[in-house]
């Protein structure tokens, strides 16, 4: 039974008005919740000082660590038996001064090897440590 004889079937339409309303609400929400970073620039006038150059350079002890775990103090290879041995070698090179221990480790060296040098410097009583790096080319 066909009750709609004279009528043609209407094609369905997509109503875009509710879609636009939802998009506007989302846009307002995003604009309200977005944080904008502000770059504040401080104008600081740094004080100047006139002083003489430091004539005496602090004593530096370079500790090189190879990728295989070998150690060298100021270019001289040493046999590592423990942090106590390395601390004694550091004290010999320091001659009673407070040196700066420069750790120059290979990129593939063991993490424990670097920690051993830090422990030896602590045992020797030296708190000034630095790491040597190279700039990328």
Contacts of 9 (CB under 8 A, 6+ apart): none
Q: pLDDT tens for residues 9-55?
A: 778 888 899 999 999 999 999 888 887 666 656 566 666 767 676 66
85: domain range? 60-131
Tell whether pTM > 0.85: no
**48 within a domain of the structure (yes/no):** no
Q: How far apart are CA 56 and CA 63, in angstroms?
A: 21
**23 within a domain of the structure (yes/no):** no
Q: How far apart are CA 129 and CA 123, in angstroms?
A: 13
CB 126 within 8 Å of CB 83: no
Taking CA 105 as the corner, what is the angle to CA 100 and CA 106, rounded to the nearest 5 degrees? 160
Count of the separate structural domains present in the chain: 1
Contacts of 79 (CB under 8 A, 6+ apart): 85
**46 within a domain of the structure (yes/no):** no
**64 within a domain of the structure (yes/no):** yes
**101 within a domain of the structure (yes/no):** yes
**47 within a domain of the structure (yes/no):** no
């Amino acid at each position: 039974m066909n009750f709609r004889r004279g009528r043609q079937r209407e094609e369905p339409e997509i109503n875009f008005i509710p879609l636009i309303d939802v998009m506007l609400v989302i846009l307002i929400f995003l604009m309200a919740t977005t944080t904008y970073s502000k770059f504040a620039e401080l104008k600081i006038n740094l004080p100047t000082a006139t002083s003489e150059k430091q004539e005496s350079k602090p004593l530096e002890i370079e500790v090189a660590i190879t990728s295989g775990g070998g150690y060298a103090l100021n270019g001289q290879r040493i046999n590592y038996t423990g942090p106590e041995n390395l601390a004694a070698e550091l004290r010999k090179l320091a001659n009673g001064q407070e040196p700066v221990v420069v750790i120059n480790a290979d990129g593939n060296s063991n993490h424990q090897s670097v920690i051993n040098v830090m422990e030896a410097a602590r045992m020797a009583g030296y708190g000034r440590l630095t790491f040597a790096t190279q700039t990328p080319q």
